[in-house]
Amino acid sequence: MDFNFRLKMSAKNIIGNVTSNIKILHLEDIDSDAQLVLQYLKNKVENIHITQVVNEHDYVKELSNNSYDFIFATYELAEYDAISALKKAIQLIENPVFIFITHAMNEDQILAAIENGANDYVCKKSLNRLFPIIIRNIREKERYAKQQDKKNDLSNKHEEFNDNEFYFCSLFHSLHEDAILIGRDYSILDINNEIEESTGLSVKVHLRMAQI
């Protein structure tokens, strides 16, 4: 099976499950380059919407007022620093997916981009790398969301357990009869307040005596 066909099928399986458009903010001041990226992605999948901005003002405005799944930015901006654009995205958005799409980046620029939080970079002459990166990041987002759901579920169960434990302890110590809590190994785990009142000895003393 052809690799491009497999990739397209994979994209349908992954992106096809997204009910709304995948929204991309593209910081690019060369219209022809922005159109190149748009046409490339439109040929891959239909439910993608790209908003192009060309300067810092419009870029910050879009970041502040709208939600985007991906942020693309060229490194060769005429009136704005690309790393500053990256830092602004991180400042305004929680865990942004930021991808540089550029003509060329040297090793130092790539290192600076990654160290400052960029997810990846793509050369404009090699846009075929872009779509697999999008798919990979969608998968990572789904995986992260599932992990968060599991953590929240465990947290809720823990809170429920604590609530049940508190209810049991309150009930145990409010009994008007002498009561002893026995463990599976028949050791005494707790003695209720009624025993303390009837004997005049503290719960701690009773537990200590039971251990002797």
Task: Please provide the DSSP assignment of 58-115 as one string.
Answer: HHHHHHHHS--SEEEE-S--SSS-HHHHHHHHHHHSSS--EEEEES---HHHHHHHHH
Mean pLDDT of the region 124-152? 83
DSSP element (H, E) containing 125: none
Mean pLDDT of the region 117-146? 87
- How far is CA 92 from its chain centroid? 15
pTM (global) more than 0.85: no
pLDDT at 200: 56
pLDDT at 162: 55
Give the total residue count for the chain: 212
DSSP element (H, E) containing 212: none
8-43 pLDDT, tens digit each:
444 555 454 443 578 999 999 999 999 999 999 988
Q: How far apart are CA 4 and CA 118, in angstroms?
A: 26
Is 47's pLDDT higher than 70? yes
Mean pLDDT of the region 162-181? 65
Best-predicted range by mean pLDDT (14-18, 129-133, 153-157): 129-133
pLDDT at 130: 92
Mean pLDDT of the region 101-128? 89
Mean pLDDT of the region 184-196? 66
Is 99's pLDDT higher than 70? yes
Is 192's pLDDT higher than 50? yes
Map residue 119 onto helix, strand or coil.
coil
Residue type at 30 in one-letter notation: I
pLDDT at 195: 61
Mean pLDDT of the region 181-207? 61
Is 64's pLDDT higher than 70? yes
